[in-house]
């Protein structure tokens, strides 16, 4: 399984950038996103930026990853998933549309 890690770009040149995950700096391949400005958040997989994130998305992902790490160490999740706990489950838009039309199997 591959887990995406949000990282903040510190500086870059051409299709490579140095980014931080908050603890360490990493050399990131920017071929799939193209160059971005310093301060931009990207979602990385195996050293490659796959998507540009806004800061809110990046911080939610970081929080979830920290919560999962805490859980794996036997500690409490804390508020790692607070954004999900406060809302009702939602279907993806295409499934909600099918459900609304009565086109679901069940």
Domains of the chain: 5-53 (2.30.30.140), 56-101 (no CATH)
Among the listed residues 83, 79, 56, 59, the one whose alpha carbon sits nearest the alpha carbon of residue 5: 59
Predicted TM-score (pTM) of the model is: 0.75
Residue-wise pLDDT tens for the chain (106 aa)? 678 999 999 999 989 999 999 999 999 999 999 999 999 999 999 999 999 999 999 999 999 898 888 888 888 877 777 777 777 888 888 988 988 898 876 5
Distance CA 29, CA 49 (A): 6
Residue 71: the pLDDT is 85
Count Cβ neighbours within 10 Å for each residue of 23-33 and write b for 16 or more, e otherwise: eeeeebebeeb
Q: Are strands 16-20 and 41-45 parallel, antiparallel or unpaired?
A: unpaired
Helix (H) / strand (E) element for 97: namely helix 93-100
Among the listed residues 77, 58, 80, 81, the one whose alpha carbon sits nearest the alpha carbon of residue 4: 58
């Amino acid at each position: 399984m591959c887990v995406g890690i949000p990282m903040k770009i510190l500086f870059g040149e051409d299709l490579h950038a140095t980014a931080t995950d908050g603890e360490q700096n990493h050399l990131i391949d920017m071929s799939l996103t193209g160059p971005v400005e310093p301060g931009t958040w990207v979602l990385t997989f195996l050293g490659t930026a796959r998507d540009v994130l806004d800061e809110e998305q990046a911080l939610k992902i970081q929080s979830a990853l920290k919560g999962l790490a805490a859980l794996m160490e036997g500690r409490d999740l804390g508020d790692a998933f607070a954004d999900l706990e406060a809302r009702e489950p939602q279907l993806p838009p295409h499934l909600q549309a099918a459900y609304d039309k009565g086109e679901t199997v069940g």
